[in-house]
C-alpha cells in the first residue's frame, strides 16, 4: 500500500519505466534473502519488504497508459494487469514444483530446499528489471524528459503556435501563450513556432478540431511533475474517490479471498486435502488471464458508444453483480463441489472484470497526473485487501459469513458513488 502511494508520484516525476525497474530491483533483495529467515520476526519483516514488488503494479499501468490511445487503453491496461494477477495463481503451481524438483532430483532436504527455491523468482525479477532498463523506451516517442517534444512538433505541424507548461512544471502551472523565449532560468519552455503543413490537405483524414481545442487537449494530456501541495486536489477529488472506492471493493476482495479460499475449500470439502484445495484455489487467480482483460475490452467497447459515462457505469454494474454472487456464496455456504466452484467462477468473472474496467477509466481522470491517480487507486485496492482480511480474521473459520458481508459492502459502496461524474466538470483532456 505504501509503495503504491509513493510509486504514483514517482512515475510522474521520473517516468514509469525507471520506477517499475526500481520497484523490481528493490523487491528482489528481500526475495533473495527469504532463505535466511530463522524466526517469526524475520518472516514478518521479509513479507513486509517483499510487498515492494506489489507496488510495481502502479508503474506498469502508468507505462501502459502512455503507449495506448484512450479508445484501447482499457484493454491494454487490463491485459497487463491480468497477467500480473495471474502470477499469483501460477506461483501456486510453480514454487511447489521447484521445491519438489530440488528434493527429489537434487537430493536437498526439505529444510534447505524451500530456502533455495526463492532464488528462482529472484533471478526472474532481476533479469526482467535489467532487460526493462536496457531494451525499453519510456514513451512511444523516446525519453521521459522529452515527452513534450512530440506534442510540440505535432501541434506545430498543424500550424498552431503556443506553449504548454514549463518543464519541470507543477500540476497547477498556468499555461502560457505565444512563442516567448526562455527567460534564462533552469526551466525549459515548451513554446514552439507554427509551421505550414508540408502539403495542402495533408491532414484531411483527421477530424476537424479547433486550434484552441487542440492546444488545450495537449496541455491537459501532458504529464507534469507533482508537488505535494498541488497533488492534494487530485488525491481528494470526487473522481479519484470513485476509482479508489471501486478498486477497494474489487481488488481488495480478490486479495482477501485469495488468502483464504484454499482453507475454505478444505473446510467444506475435506477430501480435497491441502494440495487439491490449493490447486482449485489457484484457479481463482489464474482466471485473471481471461476475466480482467475482458473487463478492459468491455470498457473500451462501451466507451466507443457512450463515452466516459459508459465506462463508469460498467464499473458499478459489474460490482453489483459481484456483490450478488458474494452474498449467494455466503448465504448458501455450498457443500456441493459443482455449486461452490460454479458460484466462485461467476463471482470471479465480475470481480476480476471489475478490476480491468476500473483501470480502463483511470487514464481519463486527471490525465496530467496519471501517476498520482493510478497510485491512489492501486493503494486503495491493497487497503481493501487489509480491511477484508481483518474481517476474515475476526470471524475465524466462518468464511461464508464474511463472503456476504463483503458482498453487502461492495453493493453499498458502489451505489453511494454512482452519482458522481466520471471526470471533473470542465476538465481539459481525458475525454
- Cα→Cα distances 7→79, 185, 280, Å: 20, 29, 33
Cell readout for 431 is 475525454
Q: Write out the H or E segment, with its range, that includes residue 277.
A: helix 273-286
CA distances from 45 to 29, 88, 342 (A): 12, 20, 38
Helices (H) then strands (E): counts for the chain: 17, 2
pLDDT digits (tens, 9 = 90+) for 174-206: 444 443 333 333 334 444 444 444 444 444 445
What pLDDT, on a 0 to 100 scale, did the predictor assign at position 155? 59
As beta bridge partners, residue 139 has: 142
pLDDT at 46: 86
DSSP states of 319-352 = HHHHHHHHHHHHHH---SHHHHHHHHHHHHHHHH
pLDDT of residue 221: 56
Instruction: Check residue 218 and give its pLDDT.
Output: 54
What's the confidence (pLDDT) of residue 151?
Answer: 61
Residues in the chain predicted with pLDDT less than 50, given as ranges, are 164-205, 207
- The three-state secondary structure class of 17 is helix
Residue 301 grid cell:
467497447
pLDDT at 148: 66
Question: Which pLDDT value is given to residue 241?
Answer: 94
Q: How many alpha carbons fall within 13 Å on the CB side of residue 90? A: 9
- Cβ(357)–Cβ(314) under 8 Å? yes
Quick check: 197 and 203 in contact, CB under 8 A?
yes
3-state secondary structure of 270: helix
Contact by Cβ (8 Å): 340, 272: no
DSSP annotation of 431 reads -
CB 308 within 8 A of CB 364: yes
Q: What does the pLDDT look like over 317-336, one tens digit per residue? A: 999 999 999 999 999 999 99
Orientation of helix 73-104 relative to helix 57-67, angle to 10°: 140
Instruction: Return the pLDDT at 190.
Output: 44
d(CA 365, CA 350): 23
Q: Output the pLDDT for position 289.
A: 84
Residue 37, classed as helix, strand or coil, is coil
C-alpha angle with apex 363: 173 to 303, nearest 5 degrees? 130
C-beta separation of 85 from 285 below 8 A? yes
Amino acid at each position: 500500500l505504501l509503495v503504491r502511494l509513493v510509486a504514483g508520484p514517482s512515475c510522474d516525476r521520473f517516468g514509469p519505466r525507471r520506477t517499475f525497474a526500481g520497484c523490481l530491483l528493490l523487491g528482489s533483495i528481500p526475495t533473495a534473502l527469504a532463505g535466511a529467515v530463522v524466526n517469526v520476526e524475520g518472516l514478518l519483516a521479509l513479507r513486509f519488504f517483499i510487498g515492494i514488488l506489489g507496488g510495481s503494479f502502479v508503474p506498469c499501468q502508468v507505462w501502459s497508459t502512455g503507449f495506448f490511445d484512450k479508445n484501447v487503453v482499457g484493454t491494454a491496461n487490463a491485459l497487463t494487469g491480468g497477467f500480473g494477477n495471474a502470477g499469483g495463481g501460477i506461483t501456486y503451481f510453480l514454487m511447489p514444483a521447484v521445491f519438489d524438483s530440488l528434493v527429489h532430483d537434487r537430493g536437498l532436504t526439505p529444510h534447505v530446499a524451500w530456502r533455495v527455491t526463492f532464488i528462482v523468482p529472484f533471478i526472474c525479477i532481476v533479469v526482467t528489471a535489467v532487460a526493462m532498463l536496457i531494451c525499453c523506451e519510456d514513451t512511444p516517442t523516446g525519453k521521459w524528459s522529452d515527452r513534450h517534444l512530440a506534442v510540440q512538433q505535432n501541434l506545430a505541424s498543424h500550424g498552431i503556435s503556443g506553449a504548454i507548461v514549463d518543464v519541470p512544471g507543477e500540476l497547477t502551472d498556468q499555461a502560457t501563450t505565444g512563442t516567448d523565449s526562455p527567460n534564462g532560468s533552469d526551466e525549459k519552455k515548451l513554446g514552439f513556432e507554427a509551421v505550414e503543413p508540408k502539403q495542402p490537405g495533408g491532414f484531411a483524414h483527421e477530424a476537424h478540431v479547433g486550434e484552441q481545442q487542440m492546444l488545450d487537449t495537449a496541455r491537459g494530456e501532458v504529464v507534469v511533475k507533482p508537488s505535494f501541495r498541488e497533488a492534494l486536489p487530485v488525491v481528494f477529488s470526487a473522481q479519484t474517490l470513485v476509482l479508489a472506492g471501486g478498486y477497494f471493493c474489487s481488488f481488495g476482495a480478490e486479495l482477501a479471498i485469495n488468502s483464504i479460499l484454499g482453507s475454505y475449500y478444505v473446510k467444506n470439502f475435506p477430501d480435497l486435502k491441502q494440495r487439491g484445495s490449493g490447486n482449485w484455489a489457484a484457479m481463482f487467480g489464474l482466471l485473471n488471464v481471461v476475466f480482467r482483460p475482458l473487463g478492459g475490452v468491455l470498457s473500451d467497447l462501451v466507451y466507443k458508444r457512450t463515452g466516459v459515462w459508459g465506462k463508469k457505469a460498467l464499473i458499478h454494474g459489474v460490482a453489483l453483480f459481484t456483490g450478488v454472487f458474494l452474498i449467494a456464496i455466503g448465504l448458501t455456504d455450498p457443500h456441493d463441489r459443482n455449486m461452490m466452484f460454479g458460484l466462485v467462477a461467476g463471482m470471479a468473472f465480475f470481480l476480476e472484470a471489475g478490476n480491468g474496467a476500473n483501470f480502463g477509466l483511470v487514464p481519463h481522470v486527471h490525465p496530467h497526473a496519471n501517476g498520482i491517480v493510478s497510485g491512489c487507486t492501486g493503494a486503495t485496492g491493497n487497503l481493501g485487501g487489509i480491511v477484508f482480511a481483518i474481517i476474515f480474521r475476526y470471524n475465524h473459520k466462518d468464511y461464508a459469513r464474511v463472503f456476504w458481508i463483503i458482498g453487502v459492502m461492495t453493493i453499498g459502496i458502489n451505489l453511494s458513488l454512482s452519482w458522481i461524474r466520471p471526470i471533473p466538470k470542465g476538465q481539459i483532456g481525458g475525454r
